[in-house]
Structures are given as C-alpha cells and as structure tokens.
Amino acid sequence: MRHTYILLVAGSISLATASNLTMAAEQQTLEPWQLAEKTEVWDPEPPIVQAPAGPPPSDAIVLIGDGKALSQWQALKGGEPQWKVTGDTITVKPETGDIVSKQSFCDIQLHLEWKTPTDVAGKESQQRNNSGVFLQQRYEIQILDSYNNRTYANGQTGSVYKQTIPLANAMRPPGEWQVYDIIFQAPRFEGERLTRPGFVTVIHNGVLLQNHTEIQGSTEWIGPPSYKTHGCAPLQLQDHGNLVSFRNMWVRQL
C-alpha cells in the first residue's frame, strides 16, 4: 500500500508538472490579448437600466411622485389613506394612522426623500418629529429629527430601531429634505425555521449609516426582537403624530 501511495503521489505531481509546462508553453505562443480572453466572461449580459439624472431608474416602481399621489397606498386599518397630498409630496395627517403600500416586496433597493418640520419648540428626543419606514411592515429604519437632538443612539435617524446604532449622524437641519437609499435583503424561512436573517444597508444624505447590518428580528418598542415566518410584504410609513413629509419614493426589486 505504501508503494502504491507513493506512486499515486508521484503520478499526481507529474501530471501537475506537465500541466504547468503546457500552460507555460501556451503563454509563450499566445499574444497577451489572447491570454486575456481566457478570463473574460461575456454572458449573461446585465440588463440595461436607464438612469437619467433626477428621475427614477427605468425599472423602478414609483410609490410617491410622478403624479401618483396616494394611489399606491392604503390605510393600515383599511380604506383610503387620509394623509395630506401637495403636488408630489405627501405629509402625515396625525392620528389617521400608518399607511402601507398596496404592493408587497422582498429584496429591494429603496429610495426615499423625507423632511421634518421646522417647528421644534418643546420637542426633544423621540418627540422631535418622528416617523419611520418599515421594511416588510416589520423592520423599522428610524426617521427622526436628529439634528442637535440627543436621544437613545439605537433610536436616532438611520438606526435599525432598538437594534443597531447608525455609524454616523448625517442629519440636515429641519425643513431641509433628507435622502435615504436603502438596500434590503429579506430574511429567508423554511417552514417555521429561519434559514437566513435579513440584512440592510442604509445611506443617509450620501453617508453610510448601516453597512450590510444583520436584522435581529422585528423592531419592537418594548422587548427583544424575534423572527416569525412571513413572505414578501408591503412597505409601511409611520404616523407618529408629527407632520413629516415624503416625496420621490421608488423601489427596484432585486
């Protein structure tokens, strides 16, 4: 057996040596461009997406803007949403409740612009013009006026609410439009078992706040997060009782 093993190893070394010699000889006979072609991959070819400056990409689903008003939304409790519409901007109408998209989503690229009002008198911490965008109605990315406004760090703008502190505070002053760009990978389940948690990347005003952050479960005000089996689900915008405005919201399904 020992001799057989030695012969097999020697044979493998000989084959490897021969292969290396063949490759070396080939490299000497081929032109550089021919060698470069060996590592080129031409298919599949990525689809073309028109991405002009300003408007959403050509394959985006527009949820706010483009004259759609609230046509892509419904009230969380059912029926038509009662939020205020001004051109292509919608604003929370306090105490009318959250709104949810009519369409459900799994993995997405989300673009959203939002603005908090300039009236901040007597409002501090979580009461300083609060809202949120809930991915799949479960996983909240906090929206809050965090400009010179101290609050618990895992509840400020750009946090995965009550889970992950943002990497920075990129807040513009109240009254100015804020920009979120969010990449969301939805969790995966097999029956009742979680096979892969969700992940989220959040960019606020061009600044990275969450870098492929693992979502620990549903974002809860009280108690720890946990996962429960679900499929694709709508986006949800929160009525926290403040006049937060939204515009230019679109989604690309990934």
Q: What is the CATH number of domain 61-253?
A: 2.60.120.560
Distances (CA, A) of 239 to 38, 94, 131, 251, 254: 56, 6, 6, 21, 28
Residue type, 151: T
Q: Are 235 and 195 in contact (CB under 8 A)?
A: no
Domain layout of the chain by residue ranges: 2-37, 61-253
Residue with the two structure tokens 């409790």: 77
Q: Distance (Å, rounded) from C-alpha 201 to C-alpha 207?
A: 11
Secondary structure class of 96 (helix, strand, coil): coil
Q: Distance (Å, rounded) from C-alpha 182 to C-alpha 109?
A: 6
Q: Distance (Å, rounded) from C-alpha 197 to C-alpha 228?
A: 11
* Tens digit of pLDDT at every position of the chain (254 positions): 555 544 444 455 555 565 665 666 667 889 999 999 999 999 999 999 999 998 999 999 999 999 988 999 999 999 999 999 999 999 999 999 999 999 999 999 999 999 999 999 999 999 999 999 999 999 999 999 999 999 999 999 999 999 999 999 999 999 999 999 999 999 999 999 999 999 999 999 999 999 999 999 999 999 999 999 999 999 999 999 999 999 999 999 99
